[in-house]
Each structure stands twice: as structure tokens, then as C-alpha cells.
Structure 1
Amino acid sequence: MTTLLIADDHPLFREALRGVVARVLPAATLREADSVEALYAMVEAEADADLLLLDLNMPGAHGFSALVHLRAQHPELPIVVVSAREEPGVMRRALDHGAMGFIPKSADAGTLGQAITAVLDGDRWAPAAARAAPAAGADEHDAARRVAELTPQQFRVLQMLGAGLLNKQIGYELGVSEATIKAHMTAILRKLGASNRTQAVLVAGRLALDPGSIAPQPDEAGD
């Protein structure tokens, strides 16, 4: 039994993907997530899933960070990025960070089905323009390597840090003490090779879809 995971915050597009999968793999089991937190829980619960269709632009996904994290935590799970960001450079970067395929959201149902089938058969699939685009730079690969070393909880803290939350706010969201968050921050800074929160955000920001848009975050005493 084939199990496919769909992570997209747009109900209409999830419905479209369900329709394509139903035609290509009528016996497949589908699981869906409409948020980043639901995505992580779904992947943990479906350890034997055959494929994840991942939207890059889900709120909280922060560019390629979620892709890098999932590839590190679940290397056996093939991931295909499905995105409205169709620039060749963005597609190539997704492939460079471990995606088995990239399907533009503008693709028709036939192309979607072809791509899904190809990846399930063990092949990579992406538009020709993606393969012709320049590869991700050395700094970006280094950032990906460092982010991949984070534990799931450390990664969540980093994501919230990138969203501008302070330690107390992160602790509240995760249901842990501020002291625990400070301990996570110490480990995050060490693994990212950063000396403060601003540097940590900038390292992770190399994985953003538009790296130049990342704004430094204020440091806190005791970080």
C-alpha cells in the first residue's frame, strides 16, 4: 500500500493533488498537513510513507530550512517540492538540498502525475530549467549542513527565533521554561558556529527563498 503525504496550507491545492493521486494511484493512502507543526507530527506518525509533497511557502517553513531538517531527520523519505516559486534558481536549490523532485504549481494534472510516478519509481524529476540553473553556493551548503545537525526541538527554537520571538515567548509556545530555551540557544549557537542570536538568524537565513530579506533579531542578555 502506497502512502503519500501532502503538506500545503491551501485547501484547494490539496484537493487538486488528491485528485491527481486518485487517478495515478487509486489505492494510495493520503495524509495531509496544513501547517508546519502538523507536517512534523505527520511525518513522525507515518514513518513508512513513500513520498512527501511539500509546499515551500507554508507559513513557518522559512525557505529550505524545513526541507533540510526533514531530510536530516528522515533520510529514507523522498520529498518532492511543489511550489508557486518557479524561478530556475529556486528549483535548483531545492534539488541541491535533497529534494527528489520539484513540481511547479502551474503544472497540469498530467505533468503532476508523471512527476509523482517518476519519483516513486526512484527517479528524480524537475523541469529542464532547474537542472540548467547554477548550483547553490558553498555558504548555503555550509548553512544546510549546520542546520541539519540540530535536534527537532532545537530546530523549532531556531524557527521561532527567526520569526522574532524572544526566549520567554518561545518557552511559552513550547511549554518549557525560559532556562530550557536558553540551554537550547547555547546548543544552537554552537552547532551553527554563531556567537549570538543575530548571527544564528543570518546563518539560517542563507536557506531563505530570498536571503536578502532576512532581518537581524535583537540579542537577549544571557544568550
Structure 2
Amino acid sequence: MHHLLIVDDHPLYRLALRQTLAAGLAGARIDEAGDLAGAQGLLAESPDTDLVLLDLQLPGTHGLLALGELRAAHPGVAVAILSGQDDPATVRRALAMGACGYLTKHAGTEELHAGVRALLAGETWMPSALRELLARTPRDSESESLAARLATLSPQQLKVLQRVAEGRLNKQIADELGIQERTVKAHLTVVFEKLGVRNRTQAGVLLSGLAGE
């Protein structure tokens, strides 16, 4: 029996997607989460989840960092993007950060079922039209490299970076995460080194570019 998790902040869309998937995957267990914290909680309870379908535009997250956090915390769980965005740059960044596939929200039922079945079979999947678009579009090696470097950060380092991008000070980050301020500084030292930046301002600029802002 397959076990899927839908992560999207729109309840009506989650309901419709769940019903659509259930019709094509007899006996599948399909859970839902409206934000990253909810997804993390469900994955902690069910680490044998086969596939996560993740919306990129979750509240309280910055760009692709939600994908990075899920992949870092649960490396054995396949995560595919299900998004309204289908521009080639976003798709390539998501794949560079470890997404196993990319589905679009305007996909028809047949295409959605085909994609999810392929992902559950261990394939890397995206719609043929999107694959053809990627083949015609020049690559942005710099942004893909940044996405790949973000994928090397630990869950805690990604949480710290998320809060830096939101403008929080080290003490605020320490209080929110329940760690020492010196631990925040240690995490940032590693983060800056991996991202090739010198300070939090440069890190924020990089993340803004990654998110297409």
C-alpha cells in the first residue's frame, strides 16, 4: 500500500488533489499538511512515507528552503514538487536541491496519475511539455550550483538560514530554535562558507535570487 503526503496551504486544493489521487491509487494512504511544520511532524510519525508532493509557495518559508529542509531531515523520502510555477529556472533549481520530479497544478487527471505512478516506481518525472521546454532553454549554472550547495546544509543550518533571510538577529534565532547564540554563530560560519558569502546580507541577496524575487 502506497503512502503519500500532500503539503499545500490551500485546504480545498488539498481535498481535490487527495480525491483525484485516491481514484487512481486504490488503497493508498494519503495524508495532508498545510505547512512545513505539519509536514515535518507527519514524516516523523511515518518515516516510511513513499512520496511527498510539495507546493513551493508555502507560508513561512523562503523559496526552495522547504524542499531543502524536508530532504535534509528525511533523506529516505522522495519529494516531488507540485506547483503552479513551471518556469525552467525554478524546475532546475528544485531538481538540483533533490526533488525527484516536478508536476504542475494545471495538469490533467491522466497526466497527474501517470506522474505519481512513475514517481512511486522510483523514476524522475516531469510532464513531456515541460521536459521539452527545459531542453530548449539555456541553463543558469550559477543558480543551479547555489541550489546544490543549499542541499548540502543540515536541517538546523537551513532553519538558521531561513530566519536570517527573514531579518532575525542571532539572539532571536537562538530563542526561536532553543539553542545557544554561539551555536547560531557556528551554524552561520558553516552556511556562509558553503554558500561562498561573507555575511548575512550577501546570503539574503543570494536567497532572493534563488526564489526569483
TM-score range, shorter chain: 0.7 to 0.9
State whether residues 92 and 135 of structure 1, in contact with CA within 8 Å, keep that contact through their aligned partners in structure 2. Answer: no
Matched positions, count: 210
Report the counterpart of residue 87 of structure 2 in structure 1: 87
Greater than 6 Å deviation, 4+ residue runs: none
Distance verdict in 2 for CA 1:152–1:5, change over 3 Å: same
Alignment match of 1:142 (pick from 134, 141, 145)? 145
In structure 2, relative to structure 1, the CA distance for the partners of 1:148 and 1:94 (3 Å cut) is closer
Gaps of 5+ in 2: none
1:94-133 → structure 2 map (5 Å cutoff): 94-131=94-131, 132-133=133-134
Percent identity, please: 43
The correspondence for 2:155, drawn from 130, 152, 165, is 152
Instruction: Give TM-score, length-normalised by structure 1.
Output: 0.82
The equivalent of 1:184 in structure 2 is: 187
TM-aligned CA deviation for residue 200 of structure 1:
1.9
Shift in Å at residue 118 of structure 1? 2.0
The offset of 1:205, in angstroms, is: 3.5
CA contact (8 A) 2:67 2:97 kept: yes
- Partner secondary structure for residue 210 of structure 2: coil
Show structure 1 runs of 5+ residues with no match. Answer: 214-223
Report the CA distance shift for 1:95/1:44 in structure 2 as closer, same or farther (over 3 A). Answer: same
- Flag the 1:7–1:166 CA change in 2: closer, same or farther, 3 A: same
Name the structure 1 match of 2:170.
167
**Could you say which residue in structure 2 is the equivalent of 1:36?**
36
Q: Measure the CA separation in 2 of the matches of 1:191 and 1:53.
A: 28
Stretch of structure 1 that moved more, 79-88 or 6-15: 79-88
Tell me, in whole angstroms, the C-alpha distance in 1 between the residues paired with 2:177 and 2:92. Answer: 34
